[in-house]
Chain A
Amino acid sequence: MTQRPDPRNELGDATPLPDDLLAARDRVAEGRAKARRALGRGHARRRLLPQIAAISAVIVTLGAADRFVQGVSTHTASASAASISTGPPTSTARALAQVSKTLAADQRVIAALAIEQARLVQGASGGDGGGSAGSSAQLQSLPSLGSIPSISIPAVSAPPVVATTGASVVIP
């Protein structure tokens, strides 16, 4: 059976939610507010921050966004598990739908923030538009551990060779 969210619950619901869901929603709302404030400061940053500060902000954002998304995933999973045992099925489903919607909105805000940060970097470094698009794409698809390329460590001793190029030895 497909659960459709009640339109009356778009902004609020009289049905009491489990505490952990409320806590998760609060945290998400707080994150969204932070993201909006960061977006609002974008223009000021472009004017005021030196290049190095903008680059640092991107690096910090990458890590923070990654942790945030990972954290959201954890909250969603724990909320679903909790709802099975503590809440009435219908109200829990509605609450879950609302949290999911909020999460989706927040992820859009995060993506927008990442794009804004990339544009800040691009503006600070004076690069072309192609570089900006590349940066945005990189920031939106946050790397997972599995996607990190392996690094080959060179051997300490040289492999065997059949000839050597160098100063030619003088033979009388």
Chain B
Amino acid sequence: MSSLDVLTKDTALDDHVAVGRSMATRVTIRVPAPGTSEPAIEQACAGALDLFAAVDRTCTRFDATSNLMQANRSPDRWHHVPDHLYHAIEEAKRAHDETHGRFDPRILRQLIALGYDRTLPFGEGVLVVDTPMPKRTRALEPWRPRFREAARMVEIGPLPIDLGGIGKGLAVRWAGEVLAMASPSYLIDAGGDCFCAGRMADGTPWSVGIEDPFAPREPIATLVLTDRAAVTSSIRLRRWVTRGQRVHHLIDPQTGLPGGQGLMSVTVVGKDPARAEVWSKALFIAGRARITALAKQRAIAALWVDQDGRCSMSAAMEPYVQWKKP
């Protein structure tokens, strides 16, 4: 059964529009209609959405039967895993190294300790989860999973992992490869993760809004993108109250507690959606005091909104910003 729910035509923009659901969010794909056939686009969109579903099925932590959770039960043993999960763990290891440990999938235990052990009803008022506030933990040693590529086997290490910080970005990357076979231009919008290939039907770059975390119906800035991903890590929705303390889902691996002091959201633009997702989280974890220096040091195109509502951006972000809220 295909994951494609709807395929329709946006006559105003002259796009084919496919909509599906995956990874607990709505996935929308746009492909400019000129020069494409509807059956080919339908097939490509269905394939891309099926890919989202396959990544979700194998890499989710919210399903005890997923391949990831099966491996997480005995993470220090070797496990045969499907291709998607194998590559996802490989990519997570690469991201861990590239960010010098700021991205660390071993924060799963802390998320569970905070009460985020299942899909929670975020966005429906103040969410209270009655669980003891976990204590600050010591920084972990560098993560060293082991791989046997030919056999598609992996040994995760002593601690279980959560691929939520990279899984959707990888799904967008791989879905883009499917769509590219049908059209050089397309847009994938998977909640916080977008990828814009080529241009719109009228030949202009894709225009993407960045949500204002304090007024989510309005953008705080708009971007013009061609062959670029835009990914946002935000605590507007995924936050809750535990024993009187406000917490959220972006855990600082150095402390085991919610990080990103002073920030509400971070958006990163880059060529690859998975790397953009990783860096949006790593920059968020850096917090308001350190994000400017880190974004500059790594030449990352980033825009962030702090808890006072101030919107700032790195120099590398400026070429992409079409409009910013005054």
Answer yes or no: are A and B bound together in one complex.
Answer: yes
Q: Chain A contact residues (Cβ within 8 angstroms of B): what range? A: 10 to 19
State whether the Cβ of A149 lies closer than 8 Å to any Cβ in chain B. Answer: no
Q: Mark B205-241, 1 if CB is under 8 A from A, else 0.
A: 0111111010010110010000000111011111000
Q: Mark A142-162, 1 if CB is under 8 A from B, else 0.
A: 000000000000111011111
Pick the residue among B26, B119, B200, B234 that contacts A162 (CB under 8 A): B200
Beta-carbon contact of B187 and A166 below 8 Å? no
Contacts of A163 in B (CB 8 A): 28, 30, 187, 189, 194, 196, 206, 208-209
State whether the Cβ of A169 lies closer than 8 Å to any Cβ in chain B. Answer: yes
State whether the Cβ of B190 lies closer than 8 Å to any Cβ in chain A. Answer: yes
Contacts of A159 in B (CB 8 A): 207, 222, 322-323
Complex-state Cα separation, A165 to B30, whole angstroms = 15
Beta-carbon contact of A168 and B190 below 8 Å? yes
State whether the Cβ of B267 lies closer than 8 Å to any Cβ in chain A. Answer: yes
Contacts of A167 in B (CB 8 A): 191-192, 211, 213, 216, 232, 234-238, 265
State whether the Cβ of A14 lies closer than 8 Å to any Cβ in chain B. Answer: no
B258 vs chain A, min Cβ distance (A): 15
Beta-carbon contact of A165 and B325 below 8 Å? no
Q: Mark A14-52, 1 if CB is under 8 A from B, else 0.
A: 000000000000000000000000000000000000000
Q: Mark B112-125, 1 if CB is under 8 A from A, else 0.
A: 00000001111100
Complex-state Cα separation, A167 to B237, whole angstroms = 6
- Known A-B contacts A169-B25, A169-B237, A170-B123; A162 and B208 likewise in contact (beta carbons under 8 Å): yes
Top 4 closest A-B pairs, CB basis? A168-B191, A166-B211, A161-B209, A163-B189
A-B contact pairs, 7 of them (CB 8 A): A154-B324, A154-B326, A158-B218, A162-B13, A163-B206, A167-B191, A167-B216
Q: List 11 extra interface pairs beyond A162-B206, A164-B209, CB under 8 A.
A: A156-B326, A158-B222, A161-B207, A162-B13, A162-B189, A162-B208, A165-B210, A166-B265, A167-B211, A167-B238, A168-B190
